[in-house]
Amino acid sequence: MNSYPPELLAQLAPVMFVAGLEGPPKAPQESETGAAQAQLDPFQILSIRLREALVSQRKVAVWQPDKSKTFQVVLVDKEVRFPPRKLVPPDDPQYTNSHSPLSPLTPSSPLYPDGLIAPIWIRKHTTLIPSVFVMFMRIFEYPPHVLRSPLEGHDSDKDRLEEERKRDSELASDIAQRKKGTNERGVKLTVVLMASRRLLDDPALDSRLTYIRRQSGLDSRAALFVLSPVSTAELHDFVRSLQQALYEPALEYYTVHSKRVRRKRNRHSQATASYPNPAVQLANPNISRPLRPEGWTVRYEYKMACFAEFRGEDEVALKHYQDAYATLTIMFGSTAILPPRTKRWAEAKVLADCINIKIVKLYLYNNEHALALSHHNTHIRQFGDFSRGWGIGEETYEFWSWIARQYRVLAEMIDQGTRSGLVIPVHQPTASSTGAAPAPRPAGLPDLDFARTLGINPSHALQHSGFYYYMAAKCTDMRRARFQAALEAENNNNPIALSPGFQNEKKVDHLSLLYTKAYELFKKYAATPALANQTTSRLTLWIATRIAETHYEAGKFDVAVRFFERIAKTYRKEGWHALLKPLLSTWYSCAQRMGDVELSIKLLIEMMGQEDLAESEEPNGLEEDLLALFQSTVPSSTEAALTFDLAGARPIFETDAVFWKAEVNVEEPAAFQLPITAPTRTVISSVPFSSLEIHISHISNPVIVRHSAEAQEESTPSTSVSRVDLGIINLEDGLQLEIAANLRWKPGSVVLFTGALVSRKPVTLSIKKVIFNIEQNSWKVQVPVEPRPPVLGSTSEPRWLRSQDPPRFIAVKRPDHATTVVKPRPHLFNVSVIHHEPGFLDEDYPIVIEVVNHDDRDLEVMADVLLQPTDIDYAINTISVNGETSTGLIKDIPFGVLAPGVHASKTLHLASGGSGGDRLLDISISANTPQSEETSGESSDEDEDEPASPVQIDKTVYQETLTVPTIAPFAVDSAVMYARTRGEWQGLASLDTFAEDYFDERKGTEALVNIKLDCTGPWGVYIENITLDATVCYTSLPPAIIIDLEGKSAPEIRIMDSSVDLPDGNLFPAEYLAGDELNLSCRVNIGVRDDGKSEEYLFPSPGRYTVSWRRILRDGSHGSLSKTTVSLPALNPPGDTLVALFDIPPTATLHVPVSMTVTIRNYHPTRSANVTVQMEPEVTDGFIVAGLRSGRVPVLLPGGEERLEWTLIPLECGYQSIPRIRILDRRKAIPGVPATTEEVPVDGSTGEPVKLIDLRRDERRLIQADGQGEEGEATIRLLESGSNFGGVLVVPS
């Protein structure tokens, strides 16, 4: 940026002249600042502070986008004079025709005759002419003095007033003088009167100020301020408000200028339209080449742009700059207008560059990155095109110098911008779509936003300044190349079109220039926050490469080498060998130039490994270089070998260790192959490898393979694979193994070392590394190579050589082919687990574990058994062995030490409770040799790097998971039937009912519980005994069990009898096979507690059967005794209210009377019943009925019953149906009777029919209805079979 005049670049701001702040004792103040400060009076301090505040608020800079209405303050003398508007004084008659001293029309102007605009014009407006003139002045203050006497007071007052008036007039005339000067230029004059705080309070001040203003002719607005010495903060406030007040006049000032220039431009364009150019030229023959109309346009547009910029109107400025730029381009387009390589041409070029910068900057202020870059690119392209026309095209260094400068200026500007608020956008499609646009775009650019959604023009995407610095550096690089070509041409006495700048160019230190720029760039990148957080920034590496190359060019080899070291690390690590290759060769040249032989050797060796890209014309160039180095130099020390230690470098040889088996036993040879493959392109056949050290893990001495010339001759050239057998290597031998072999590789040839490793201990075997020793003269170089190092790009698969001639390989598809694990010999034993599934619940299920020692050693066998928890509800399972019982794990069940061939067994008992399902057992049986303590002690001493204890290693574990399906021995099905009691009820007032132990059986229900046991299992069951136990407390059995739940509210239940207790029908013991069924039934009497809540009771299970059984084993014997309990179901007797029980013998003899009874019972606990009975015999009935035909039963109190009896004489044989009886409960009908049916005679024909139950069939079951309930629950339905009337079978007598 420094290469352009700063005036043309700087951001313009309104200019304010400030006078009167110089402070009278100027010279001493500057010389002895610190000491003098203390003695300054408050006004001097005020002046100093004001100067600081005014001057420091704004610095002249290129990038200054903020519009905070600040002025560019220039401190001037009070008597400053403005430059003359025109050369002639205003009273001269020539005045109207003459021009400004800077005009191209003025012969003395530097622009005469055809200059466009000069930096001096801007300087005039920034330093010589203000838009606002501010004068600081002291108002006179009569020194305060003590009044000596009251008489004196009046006189002194008078004096004071006179004095003040006199001084104020002087002040006013000074101001008026100044005002005259500023008015000429249209500059606003503002006066700040400095007064003490005392004067501010003086009531006379106002009138004095008015007087001064009137006298001096100051404006009424914002022209007169009074300031007293105040603190710095208040001072800043003052400065701000002063500028606020004066900003408007300043804008006016520049607007006036703009208008004036526009007028001139308009007049001019009209004039040029009427006068053709040649005519003008002819008319003014004295002026050699006057400024062309285009030039005038540029000039005016530029001026207008500047004035707009002064006003802070960026948009307007931009427009004018663009117009100026466009016209300028037209001018450059014609060599007639601007002949190249003239002074004016150069000036115009600078102007064009500067305008470009201004335009780019104004766009960037507005965050219109794309437009800014577009303009910048256009500028470069356009002027690049022009340059070609001017003979300074791409082949010249001038061209590249210019482009470099453009990029550098852009970079510097973006740099400045980013420091003060310019945000570099992120060009990520997703980021922009989510509305994370870095800066809000001004409205009115919808098309631009729309375009962004589709995609971006990459050349218009703003990037951080590093990229532009890079471009600049790159162009400088081109410039240097062109320059050197020119220099070469000159040296060859064949100069190509010597340009005038050539001598100048020679003086430029290209290398240092490029270096500094590039370095700047490098730092720039590292400092960019987005990349700084990454440890290795690859971009910087690229730049660093460039820097290193520059260093190399500049001959600073040591610096370059340092760069190379760092760069190579990343490239090696990430496998970018294509990048590494040129780097290495440059590095190597550096090392050569520096004379660093050791580094050269290392680099040569690394370059030999870069086989992919060694497409060099001489494949043995590296080898020759290396040999030449060995020949011509001596190492720094003869003792120590030079070790090739460039970490991560790709080795020369591709080595790969392959073990045939993943695991071997102790003392079993582990065969391995170690192929060493030479690079295919680089020739290394004469590199003097003297020996090869193969380092194997757990062996201290490496296997050494020495080169022998005889072997070299013997080796068959027919195949590319030669095999060297190392034999069987015993790890514990500790012998130094040395073998001779041919160690010269042809391109792509493979030397394959084969052998086998034997270990007596369990270890992991691998080949650690192979060291190649090169010896020549006094040089010793060690090149360590790890088999298959973790460098990527080695693409060959692991292979096992199967036949040497012709070479055939087997692919080894093992991930860990480079290692093999040596394991101790396994212990041979056999485990069998014997059990007969499925097991039954509640059974003691035996599982026999049998271990047989098949080994030739004694084995100590232990077993662990884990019973896995089940997810079956209420399942309590246990295992037991040797009297130890656990619900989970039983550890270390000893089988003892078994001699070879001996077997031992243990029986494990599994008891399963709950419900059926699978039970899981993990059985693990471990065997080890009992004398292992001694050997383990030895081995642990030897290798301490093996953390795993040898006891654990030397142990063979057999594991088995056992699934025992468990089922219930019987499937249980229960059925309950309820029947009404038949006996006569006790009278309501019977005293017996109040007895303590009275069990009201008749009012209750009788339940018949039937339980079916179904032998489902595959095994037969031998049932020894079944007993029925009452669940809760009972007094005696039989006849009655009183079940008392929680004392007071218990219903009464008793088990009356049971089929298992039949004295004569004892079925047990008996064998039941699969599919057999067994029924157990019992009768339970459920009493009713007389509390009206009987329907709410759910009667608990009244008892349970205990079945004692044994499993019938396969051989017919019986297993151990198991007990299974079967609970009776819970009882839920249905309730009743009013019921009529009908009873008649099922058979009758013809003509023999039978009696038929109907018992009407009121079960309702509280309500009495009013019942009518009607016998309705029909003709078709086969009976004659004697008894009540129609009548009313006495009112039945709650708990009362009434018995009616009829006598029937059968008239016909056969199955006769019973005469119809209607029983109505009138009480229930009454509330429901509507008023209209009042007249219906109360004859028993109305009312609710009472349920009539045939006692012979009385049997009620609760049946699970199909899931039709409203809530989807299974509802329980009562099945009443007694309501179906049976008939009577009449037999003949």
Partner 1 sequence: MPSTLKLNAVAFISPQNHPILIRTFSKQDENTIKYHYIAHTSLDIIEERANMTGKLGDCYLGLLYSMEDVAVYGYITPLKVKIVLALALSDAVVKDVEVIMLFKAMHMAYYSAISNPFLRLESSMDSSIDQSPHILVGSPKWKNFRKRVDEIARTLGTS
Q: Report in angstroms how near the CB of residue 577 gets to partner 1 at its nearest.
A: 8
Within residues 43-72, the interface with partner 1 by CB under 8 A covers none
- Measure the CA–CA gap between 1138 and 331, rounded to whole angstroms: 126
| Token pair belonging to 1237 | 């049916």
Q: Give residue 708's identity as a one-letter amino acid code.
A: S
If you ran DSSP here, which 8-state letter would residue 1134 be given? Answer: P
Residue 334: both structure tokens together:
């014609």
Gap between the Cα atoms of 9 and 29, Å rounded: 35
Contact region for partner 1 (CB under 8 A) — 463-471, 839-847, 1061-1069, 1126-1134? Answer: 463-471
For position 395 contacting partner 1 by CB under 8 A, the verdict is: no
Q: Is 815 a residue that touches partner 1 (CB under 8 A)?
A: yes
782 burial level (CB within 10 Å; 0-12, 13-18, 19+): middle
- The nearest distance, CB 654 to partner 1, in angstroms, is 12
What is the sign, positive or negative, of the torsion defined by CA atoms of 147, 151, 152, 156?
positive
393 binds partner 1 (CB under 8 A): no
Q: How far is the CB of 319 from partner 1 (least distance, A)?
A: 23
Q: In what order do the strands lie in the sheet with 956-967?
A: 839-840, 956-967, 917-928, 859-867, 889-898
DSSP per-residue string spanning 861-906: EEEEEEEPPP-STT---EEEETTEEESSEEEEEEEEEEPTT-EEEE
555-614: which residues touch partner 1 (CB under 8 A)?
A: 571, 574-576, 578-579, 582
217 near 179, Cβ under 8 Å?
yes
Q: Does 256 bind partner 1 (CB under 8 A)?
A: no
Size of the site for partner 1 (CB under 8 A): 49
Q: How far is the CB of 329 from partner 1 (least distance, A)?
A: 17
By CB under 8 A, is residue 1279 in contact with partner 1? no
Comparing CB distances to partner 1, the nearer of 374 and 935 is 374
Closest CB 720 distance from partner 1, rounded Å = 18
Q: What is the 3-state secondary structure (H, E, C) of 1004-1042?
A: CEEEEEEEEEEECCCCCEEEEEEEEEECCCCCCCCCCCC
Helix (H) or strand (E) holding 1201: strand 1201-1210
Pick 71 or 325: Cβ nearer partner 1: 325
Stretch that binds partner 1, among 90-98, 456-464, 668-676, 886-894 (CB under 8 A): 456-464
Does 1195 participate in binding partner 1 (rule CB under 8 A)? no
Should residue 810 be labelled a site residue for partner 1 when binding is judged by CB under 8 A?
no
Contact segment (CB under 8 A) with partner 1 among 150-158, 451-459, 512-520, 1089-1097 equals 451-459
Q: Taking the C-alpha atoms of 723, 728, 729 and 732 in order, what is their torsion angle to the nearest 10 degrees?
A: 180
Do the strands 721-730 and 750-758 form a parallel or antiparallel pair, or are they unpaired? Answer: parallel
For partner 1, which is the closer residue by CB, 461 or 511? 461
Q: What minimum distance in Å lies between the beta carbon of 362 and partner 1?
A: 21
Out of 51, 124, 538, 1222, name the contact with partner 1 by CB under 8 A. 538
**Which of 534, 778, 832, 1190 contacts partner 1 by CB under 8 A?**
534
DSSP summary character for residue 1275 = P
Residue 1231 contacts partner 1 per CB under 8 A: no
User: Among 71-79, 538-546, 737-745, 843-851, which window interacts with partner 1 (CB under 8 A)?
Assistant: 538-546
For residue 919, the cross-strand partners are 964
Smallest distance, partner 1 to C-beta of residue 611, A: 12
369 binds partner 1 per the rule CB under 8 A: no
For the residues of 148-159, what is the DSSP string, one character each?
A: --HHHHHHHHHH
Judged by beta carbon, residue 788 or residue 1251, the one nearer partner 1 is 788
- Which of 367, 537, 877, 1122 is the binder for partner 1 (CB under 8 A)? 537
- By CB under 8 A, is residue 662 in contact with partner 1? no
Report, in Å, the least distance between residue 792 CB and partner 1: 5
- Report helix, strand or coil for 932: helix
Q: How far is the CB of 813 from partner 1 (least distance, A)?
A: 5
Which is nearer to partner 1, 454 or 991 (by Cβ)? 454
- Contact criterion met (CB below 8 Å) for 782 and 641: yes
**Least distance in angstroms from the C-beta of 575 to partner 1:** 4
For residues 815 and 1047, which CB has a smaller minimum distance to partner 1 in the complex? 815
Q: Judge contact between 812 and 800, C-beta under 8 A.
A: yes
DSSP codes joined into one string, 958-983: EEEEEEEEEE-SEEEEEEEEEEE--S
CB 1260 within 8 A of CB 1210: no
Is there binding between residue 377 and partner 1 (CB under 8 A)?
yes
CA-derived radius of gyration, the chain: 60
Q: How far is the CB of 400 from partner 1 (least distance, A)?
A: 13
> 523 vs 903, which CB is nearer to partner 1?
523
Q: Measured from the CB of residue 492, what is the shortest distance to partner 1 in angstroms?
A: 24
Residue 321 binds to partner 1 (criterion: CB under 8 A): no
Residue 480 sits in the site that holds partner 1 (CB under 8 A)? no
Judged by CB under 8 A, which stretch of 427-435, 591-599, 1096-1104, 1187-1195 contacts partner 1? 427-435
**Which positions from 763 through 802 interact with partner 1, judged by CB under 8 A?**
788, 792-793, 795-798
Task: Kindly state the tokens that stand for 1.
Answer: 């940026």
- DSSP lists the bridge partners of residue 1014 as 971, 1077
- Contact with partner 1 (CB under 8 A) among 176, 230, 456, 897: 456
- Cβ of residue 521: shortest distance to partner 1, in angstroms? 12
Query: Is 400 a residue that touches partner 1 (CB under 8 A)?
Result: no
> For residue 560, which amino acid is it?
A
Q: Is 374 in the site for partner 1 (CB under 8 A)?
A: yes
- Choice from 281, 463, 974, 1108 touching partner 1 (CB under 8 A): 463
Query: With binding defined as CB under 8 A, does residue 539 bind partner 1?
Result: yes
SS (H, E, C) 5-48: CHHHHCCCCCEEEEECCCCCCHHHHHHCHHHHHHHCCHHHHHHH
Q: CB of residue 649 vs partner 1: minimum separation in angstroms?
A: 15
Residue 824: strand pairing partners: none
471 is a contact residue toward partner 1 (CB under 8 A): yes
Among 458, 500, 983, 1047, binds partner 1 (CB under 8 A): 458
- 748 counts as binding partner 1 under rule CB under 8 A: no
Under the binding rule (CB under 8 A), the answer on residue 329 touching partner 1 is no
Stretch touching partner 1 by CB under 8 A, among 265-273, 531-539, 1140-1148, 1169-1177:
531-539
Q: What's the order of all strands across the beta sheet hosting 1171-1176?
A: 1190-1192, 1171-1176, 1220-1225, 1248-1249
Q: Which is nearer to partner 1, 575 or 1286 (CB)?
A: 575
Provide CB contacts within 8 A for 1241, sequence distance 6+: none
Query: Which CB atom, from 379 or from 1260, has the smaller least distance to partner 1?
Result: 379
The reply to whether 535 sits near partner 1 by the rule CB under 8 A is: no
CA distances from 144 to 141, 196, 670, 1090, 1130 (A): 8, 12, 116, 122, 120
Interaction of residue 451 with partner 1, rule CB under 8 A:
yes
Q: Is 959 exposed, middle or buried (0-12, 13-18, 19+ CB in 10 A)?
A: exposed
Which whole-number Å values give the CA distances from 1202 to 983, 1049, 1189, 1230, in the listed order?
A: 13, 29, 16, 22
Which residue, 285 or 458, has its beta carbon nearer to partner 1? 458
User: Which positions lie near partner 1, rule CB under 8 A?
Assistant: 374, 377, 426-431, 451, 454-459, 461, 463, 467, 470-471, 474, 530-531, 534, 537-539, 541-542, 545, 571, 574-576, 578-579, 582, 788, 792-793, 795-798, 811, 813-815, 817
